[in-house]
């Protein structure tokens, strides 16, 4: 998903930077609020960031200018919300761009928008929606992680099609979605299963913290 350095036209780089900056700025405010209200969640925030970094560093070649990999954004979104996850994704993407040549600085805004904003927002919606209809948080976190991963790549496909609508936007979008789907659907399933394993451990060892964060189903509190 990481769009490589220098791949997008300057106009699109600026557009994605502006949009992403607004969400990330709000996420920083949210982190401060969460840290003040539940200071014991600081270590969990760090763990979630490390989880995102490790998973999204496991890249496979996909389409020219990008790659396929797990994202790790569903877990953070379920626990802390999409804005906070956008901040964590920003930190992860900066380190990956500087240390691993994975993604880039000029394309940072675009990569934040896909992996740190749209993916987590969908994951958060799915997770909260499942809890509202009394679906177990374990099942909810699977679908949150699965769809958060997939929608990250759908967003990247749109970004690439906007930038390179050849021969038409629709044809370019179909091509990008098709190529990503080959590797990303199985990766998203695997990410969902791994996230469930971690989630069940959190429910065993940190139930009070999950309850304080409002991350459990009503029948699990």
Q: Which residue has the higher pLDDT, 82 or 219?
A: 82
Count CB atoms within 10 A of the CB of residue 144.
30
Share of the chain above pLDDT 90, in %: 79
Residue 54: closest CA among 62, 43, 63, 46: 46
Q: For 81-102, what is the mean pLDDT? A: 94
In angstroms, the CA 75 to CA 95 distance is 20
- pLDDT above 60: residue 86: yes
- pLDDT above 70: residue 190: yes
- pLDDT above 70: residue 66: no
- CB–CB of 45/135 below 8 Å? no
Average pLDDT value for the chain: 92
140-180 pLDDT per residue, tens? 999 999 999 999 999 999 999 999 998 999 999 999 898 88
43-60 pLDDT per residue, tens? 999 999 999 999 998 877
Count CB atoms within 10 A of the CB of residue 11.
9
127-143 pLDDT per residue, tens? 999 999 989 999 999 99
User: Please, which pLDDT band fits residue 102 given cuts at 50, 70 and 90?
Assistant: confident
- CB–CB of 158/196 below 8 Å? no
User: Please, which pLDDT band fits residue 63 given cuts at 50, 70 and 90?
Assistant: low
Q: Does residue 104 come out as left (phi exceeding 0), alpha (psi in the -120 to 50 range) or beta?
A: beta
């Amino acid at each position: 998903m990481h769009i490589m350095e220098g791949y997008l036209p300057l106009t699109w780089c600026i557009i994605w930077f502006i949009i992403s900056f607004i969400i990330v700025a709000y996420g920083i405010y949210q982190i401060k609020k969460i840290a003040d209200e539940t200071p014991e969640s600081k270590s969990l925030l760090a763990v979630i960031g490390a989880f995102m970094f490790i998973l999204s560093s496991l890249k496979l070649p996909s389409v020219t200018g990008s790659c396929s990999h797990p994202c790790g954004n569903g877990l953070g979104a379920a626990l802390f919300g999409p804005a906070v996850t956008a901040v964590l994704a920003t930190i992860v993407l900066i380190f990956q761009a500087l240390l691993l040549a994975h993604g880039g600085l000029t394309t940072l805004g675009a990569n934040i928008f896909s992996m740190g904003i749209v993916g987590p927002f969908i994951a958060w919606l799915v997770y909260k929606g499942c809890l509202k209809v009394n679906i177990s948080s374990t099942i909810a976190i699977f679908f949150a992680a699965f769809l958060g991963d997939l929608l990250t790549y759908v967003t990247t496909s749109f970004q690439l099609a906007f930038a390179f609508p050849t021969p038409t936007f629709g044809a370019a979008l179909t091509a990008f979605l098709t190529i990503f789907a080959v590797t990303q659907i199985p990766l998203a399933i695997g990410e969902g299963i791994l996230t469930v394993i971690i989630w069940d451990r959190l429910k065993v060892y940190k139930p009070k913290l999950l309850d304080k964060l409002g991350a459990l189903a009503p029948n699990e509190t």
